[in-house]
């Protein structure tokens, strides 16, 4: 059985899966509000709630990175906690393959959870108005995949360096992605969340759903691809060092 399959099985038996699912469903609390208002909300109000308040401000900025962080930090969790990571590193397979298969497991588990949560939230907030909200689905799914790939690879690499990955990750997500990247233009070039949001606004045909200085889709693809490859490369190097420590 491949490392990917084994890691997925570990996820399915752990609490990480439930934690990530709960995190990604938090926007349901906002999605149900319009259905309890005395006056029926306008289409514009619903689109702003789903596209801006929920996806851009919550999923792309906080929830996707936190969800990816939880799974990435748990990918090597058993080996690190049991101090048997060196045994995995000594297996007769390339270090890159080990890291890459762990990364595949993170993506394979994170994407269905994130997409499923977004679909549920979209269904709730769009109830009775589906025709006017359908065009938001593809941009949200595509951009969330960008976030999962970028954040998943970065946090996987960090998990091999830092024991308290969740503490570091929360600082990174809240301060770097949540505050600095939104207010300091220079930092946006190094923000995975900004690239995630850029894909959404580039794909959605709605001039009311915009962000400051969005990156082009081509730039996003190249940058996230490089971030992923560099992160996996750093993780491979670290795993190789662990084999001789």
Question: Rounded to whole angstroms, how far apart are CA atoms 107 and 233?
Answer: 17
CA distance 228 to 212: 24
Question: How high is the pLDDT of residue 1?
Answer: 55
Q: Is 14 exposed, middle or buried (0-12, 13-18, 19+ CB in 10 A)?
A: middle
Predicted TM-score (pTM) of this structure: 0.91
pLDDT at 84: 66
pLDDT of 2 reads: 83
Start-end of H helices in the chain: 3-13, 16-24, 28-31, 43-48, 64-75, 77-81, 85-89, 95-126, 137-159, 165-171, 181-183, 185-188, 192-203, 217-242
pLDDT in tens, 195-227: 999 999 999 989 999 998 899 999 999 999 999
pLDDT (tens digit per residue) in 149-169? 999 999 999 988 887 777 887
Query: Is the pLDDT at 184 greater than 80, yes or no?
Result: no
What's the sign of the alpha-carbon dihedral 210, 211, 216, 220? negative
Q: Which residue has the tokens 């401000």?
A: 57
């Amino acid at each position: 059985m491949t490392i990917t399959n084994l890691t997925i099985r570990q996820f399915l038996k752990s609490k990480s899966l439930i934690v990530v699912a709960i995190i990604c469903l938090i926007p349901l609390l906002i999605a149900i509000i319009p259905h309890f208002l005395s006056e029926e909300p306008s289409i514009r109000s619903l689109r702003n709630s789903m596209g801006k308040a929920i996806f851009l401000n919550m999923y792309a900025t906080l929830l996707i990175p936190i969800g990816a962080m939880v799974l990435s930090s748990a990918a090597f969790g058993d080996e690190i906690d049991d101090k048997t990571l060196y045994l995995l590193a000594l297996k007769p397979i390339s270090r890159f393959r080990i890291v890459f298969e762990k990364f595949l497991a993170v993506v394979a588990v994170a994407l269905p959870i994130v997409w499923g949560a977004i679909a549920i939230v979209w269904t709730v907030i769009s109830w009775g108005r589906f025709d006017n909200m359908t065009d938001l689905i593809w941009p949200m799914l595509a951009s969330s995949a960008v976030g999962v790939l970028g954040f998943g690879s970065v946090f996987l690499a960090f998990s091999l360096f830092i024991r308290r990955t969740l503490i570091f990750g929360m600082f990174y997500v809240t301060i770097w992605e949540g505050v600095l990247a939104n207010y300091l233009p220079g930092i946006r070039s190094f923000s995975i969340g900004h690239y995630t949001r850029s894909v959404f606004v580039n794909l959605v045909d709605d001039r009311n759903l915009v962000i400051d200085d969005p990156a082009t889709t081509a730039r996003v693809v190249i940058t996230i691809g490089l971030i992923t490859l560099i992160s996996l490369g750093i993780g491979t190097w670290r795993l190789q060092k662990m084999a001789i420590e």
